[in-house]
Chain A
Amino acid sequence: MSGIDAFISIESLSKHFGPVKAVDRVDLTIGGGEFFSLLGASGCGKTTLLRMLAGFESPTAGEIFIDNVSMADVAPHHRPTNMVFQNYAIFPHLDVRRNIAYGLRVQRLSRSESDRLVDEMLELVKLSGFGERRSDELSGGQRQRVALARALIKRPKVLLLDEPLGALDKKLREEMQIELRALQQSLGITFIFVTHDQEEAMTLSDRVAVMSRGKALQIAAPKEIYNHPISIEVADFIGQMNFIDASVAGLEDGHAVLDTACLGRIEAPAAAPFVREAANIVVAIRPENLTLSRERRPDDRNAVQGVIKTAAYLGDRSHFYVSVEGREKPLVVAAQEGQTSLGQSLENDTPVWLSWPDEAVILLEAG
């Protein structure tokens, strides 16, 4: 991505464990002060990549530069990075204060100076008054804060976070997300955040790298990834998606005409090189970009008729599974509560119309 000065640059980085390519030739640049997420299912290589940044794993090939310094021969204890571990790794034999002060040993500070820094950190992570507690007297959220304070007291250039919110319950996790984001913005430290939770990655990050089988599939801002996924895999991983097989019937200045079995002939903006005359491709439409109505609305350019098979009520929105002719799997339609006059009065087997704007159609290369 242009406009980002490469504070961290990862060049063709690989890590093999025997025959397994945990990380496979990943190229990345991360800007100073950026909140960057590595997103992927377990086993995709995101944690291995993070551990190579921290220095716990050495790369099989490739290089890491932090602030223009190669990390190849730099031991973990000399790197300008600090890590928040997935299980927090709070030292069980030390109290909260001593845990947080742990990294100050190398700086040889006076007692009062180090006490002051620890107090500052306790306040920053909202744990004032908890300094004398032992790790087994803390809740999951509190441990997470101790781990954060312990890493931040070193004033790292880069903070590495390995699924730090994974063990927390949903409500606490959402609170911590907001706090983390605020903390990162006020400190201006580069955060590299590993998560398998796509919603979390979307909420927090400036940019996200979607990883799978050791490769970075797409590296972009959350909005870009959501609205313009570059492959079926990315589109499938981020949010829900309807995939429809299509063939290209015609092309004219940035616009493609496509034939589909269930939606008929449709149009979509097209720029990618794989969209060639007569090529078989895949069309993707987000559930919330499909609109439901009882009657065909006169100003809808694109519309198709279907029958509601099932409805799932999700509180703020509902998902309708609509079967259309020419397709076995029903299409998923998301409707915000209150935004549709149809509401819940839609029973199964109700005939409905589905419509969508041209811009909502995403074209993807067939897998």
Chain B
Amino acid sequence: MKDVSYITRPSQPLRGYAILFLAFLYVPVLFLPLFSFNDSIYIAFPLKEFTTKWYEQMFSNQQLHVTLVNSLRVGAATAVFATILGVFGAKAVTQYRMPGRKPMVFTIMLPLVIPGIIMGVALLILVSRLGIPLSLYTVTLGHVLICVPFSMATLIARFEGFDRSMEEAAADLGDNAWWTFWRVTFPIVFPGILASLLLTFTVSFDEFIMAFFLSSTEQTLPVYMWTQLRFPQKLPGVLALGSIILVVSFVVVFVSQWLRGRGVAQIPGGGTEP
């Protein structure tokens, strides 16, 4: 490897570090699928026979189906609302000169680091004070709140690469603000919007604390899973479900990140001269 520079030259210690790092992140998670195929209700080594009965059990569980649909509905609604708010927010903070821009972004991003339990309790108090009954709507409300930062982060990256003169060109060619948005802004940031939808859906789908505080009898999937953990014989079934969620989440987030990256590469001005 003579043609690698000082910076790009491979380094053995760093490679080792990278492997260790990835192992730390993912080995614990990999126990889920491992034990979900293990023919024993106890999660312990040594492994027993290979089985798919936990998956069969899971698929025949009516309650699980109901909560899955609940989660899908909450996730979809959350994704749409959070992304709409994210689009306008990201457009505003990246494209307009305005006072208090930085504090505003900071405030919007804050839910990312506020502990979920605090947000959950706060919202629960607010909702009950206002006399709003707990339902999947209140869960969605809570999820929108925590998903907007994710949507903003994804879309700000997209809008920052967005050339303002594109919109000016559209206006110059006779389009008002409405047409400019739909004919130029929207198509150009579309990969970012898609990425945001997928990401916020995943965040909502996997979220437990807010859903736990803000739901009533209608449970979301993670809340249902949690209630099942009280029964030891149900545990492997939860592992099976967890494994599936893990795989689906991974695929969705991967696709959303790929979309985001693809979008950036397509931003005008980055073209090559033949």
Contact A92 B268, CB 8 Å, known A87-B163, A139-B273, A139-B274 = yes
Q: How large is the interface on B (under 10, 10 to 19, 20 to 34, 35 or more residues)?
A: 20 to 34
| Chain B 163-211 interface residues, beta-carbon cutoff 8 Å to A | 163, 165-166, 168-176, 179, 183-184, 187-188
1/0 contact string of A92-109 vs chain B (CB within 8 Å) = 110000000011011000
Tell me the complex Cα distance, A83–B168, Å: 9
Tell me the complex Cα distance, A169–B274, Å: 14
In the complex, the answer to whether A77 meets B166 with C-beta atoms within 8 Å is no
Please give the number of chain A residues whose Cβ is less than 8 angstroms from any Cβ of chain B in the complex. Answer: 30
With a cutoff of 8 Å between Cβ atoms, the chain A residues found around residue B270 in the complex are 136
The verdict on B272 contacting chain A, using a C-beta distance below 8 Å, is yes
In the complex, the answer to whether A76 meets B266 with C-beta atoms within 8 Å is no
Nearest chain B residue, comparing its CB with the CB of A85: B165
Tell me the complex Cα distance, A90–B269, Å: 9
With a cutoff of 8 Å between Cβ atoms, the chain B residues found around residue A76 in the complex are 168, 171-172
The verdict on A61 contacting chain B, using a C-beta distance below 8 Å, is no
Tell me the complex Cα distance, A292–B171, Å: 57
Partner of A89, one of B166, B176, B183, B273: B166
In the complex, the answer to whether B168 meets A89 with C-beta atoms within 8 Å is yes
How many pairs of A and B residues are in contact by the CB < 8 Å rule? 80
Partner of A77, one of B163, B171, B268, B272: B171
| Chain A 60-103 interface residues, beta-carbon cutoff 8 Å to B | 75-77, 81-83, 85-87, 89-93, 102-103
The verdict on A138 contacting chain B, using a C-beta distance below 8 Å, is yes
Contact A85 B168, CB 8 Å, known A75-B176, A92-B188, A137-B274 = yes
In the complex, the answer to whether B188 meets A154 with C-beta atoms within 8 Å is no
The verdict on A313 contacting chain B, using a C-beta distance below 8 Å, is no
Tell me the complex Cα distance, A140–B272, Å: 9
With a cutoff of 8 Å between Cβ atoms, the chain B residues found around residue A75 in the complex are 171, 176
Partner-A contacts on B (CB < 8 A): 163, 165-166, 168-176, 179, 183-184, 187-188, 266-274
Name 15 interchain pairs, CB-CB below 8 A, sorted by A: A54-B168, A76-B172, A77-B171, A77-B173, A83-B168, A85-B165, A85-B168, A87-B163, A89-B165, A102-B173, A105-B183, A135-B268, A138-B274, A139-B274, A150-B169
* 3 closest A-B pairs by CB: A103-B173, A136-B271, A89-B169
Partner-B contacts on A (CB < 8 A): 54-56, 75-77, 81-83, 85-87, 89-93, 102-103, 105-106, 135-140, 150-151, 154
